[in-house]
C-alpha cells in the first residue's frame, strides 16, 4: 500500500469543498435553508483528499472537516456579499474584497453566523459518523506503511545478476 501525502490531500480537500460552496450559495440564492450542503462539502472533501493523497487516515478526515467548516463560512460570506451588492448596486467583487470592512456595519450579525454554524454542526456530525461507524476499515489511525517486497521481482533481479556475473567471467 502506498504512503499518503498530507499536503496533496489537503489541496484535494480544498478543491473538493468547492461543490459544497457552490451548492450552499445556489440554494441560499433561492432563499432556502442551505446549511445541509455542509454534508456535500465534507464528503466531496474526503473523496478528493483520498484521491490526491492516495490514502485516507483519521488525520485526513479531520483536515477535511476543518476545511469544510471554513468553506461554509466562505459560502456565507459570498451569499452576504451578493445580497449587499444587489441591494446597494455595487459589484460583487468590490463588496467581497472589502467584506471585513463592511461586516462591522451589518445590522443583523446573528443571521450571518447562524447558518454557517449550523452547516458546521452538520459537517462535524457527518465527520464523526464517518470516523466511527461508516468506514472503519477504510480509515487508518496513522500512516504507517511497511515496504512490501515483490519476491518475484527479487528472483528476476537475482537471475539477471547471475547472468551478468556469468558473462563477465567468460
Residue pLDDT, tens place only, 17-57: 999 999 999 998 898 877 778 889 999 999 999 999 988 88
Which helix (H) or strand (E) segment holds residue 81: the answer is: helix 58-88
Residue 162 belongs to some domain of the structure: no
Residue 150 belongs to some domain of the structure: no
Query: Are 122 and 36 a contacting pair, CB within 8 Å?
Result: yes
pLDDT value for 69: 95
Residue 17 belongs to some domain of the structure: yes
Share above pLDDT 70 across residues of the chain, in percent, rounded to a whole number: 78
pLDDT value for 1: 42
Residue 36 belongs to some domain of the structure: yes
What range defines the domain where residue 15 resides? 6-144
Q: Output 86 or 137, whichever has higher pLDDT.
A: 86
Residue 34 belongs to some domain of the structure: yes
Structural domain total, the chain: 1
Q: Which residues contact 118 (CB under 8 A, 6 or more apart)?
A: 35
Residue 107 belongs to some domain of the structure: yes
Query: CA separation (Å) from 23 to 8, 13, 27, 77, 164?
Result: 24, 16, 6, 14, 62
The predicted model scores a pTM of 0.73
The rounded distance, in Å, linking the Cα atoms of 83 and 68 is: 23
Residue 166 belongs to some domain of the structure: no
Residue 15 has which C-alpha cell? 478543491
Residue 47 belongs to some domain of the structure: yes
Average pLDDT over all residues of the chain? 82
Q: Which residues contact 43 (CB under 8 A, 6 or more apart)?
A: 126, 130
Amino acid at each position: 500500500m502506498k504512503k499518503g501525502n498530507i499536503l496533496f490531500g489537503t489541496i484535494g480537500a480544498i478543491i473538493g469543498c468547492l461543490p459544497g460552496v457552490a451548492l450552499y450559495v445556489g440554494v441560499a440564492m433561492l432563499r432556502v435553508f442551505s446549511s445541509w450542503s455542509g454534508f456535500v462539502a465534507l464528503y466531496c472533501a474526503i473523496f478528493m483528499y483520498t484521491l490526491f493523497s492516495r490514502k485516507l487516515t483519521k488525520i485526513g478526515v479531520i483536515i477535511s472537516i476543518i476545511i469544510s467548516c471554513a468553506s461554509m463560512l466562505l459560502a456565507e460570506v459570498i451569499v452576504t456579499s451578493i445580497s449587499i451588492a444587489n441591494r446597494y448596486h455595487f459589484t460583487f467583487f468590490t463588496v467581497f474584497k472589502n467584506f471585513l470592512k463592511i461586516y462591522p456595519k451589518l445590522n443583523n450579525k446573528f443571521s450571518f453566523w447562524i447558518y454557517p454554524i449550523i452547516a458546521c454542526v452538520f459537517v462535524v456530525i457527518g465527520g464523526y459518523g464517518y470516523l466511527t461507524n461508516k468506514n472503519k476499515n477504510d480509515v487508518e489511525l496513522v500512516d504507517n506503511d511497511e515496504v512490501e517486497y515483490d519476491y518475484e521481482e527479487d528472483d528476476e533481479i537475482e537471475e539477471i545478476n547471475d547472468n551478468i556475473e556469468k558473462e563477465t567471467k567468460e
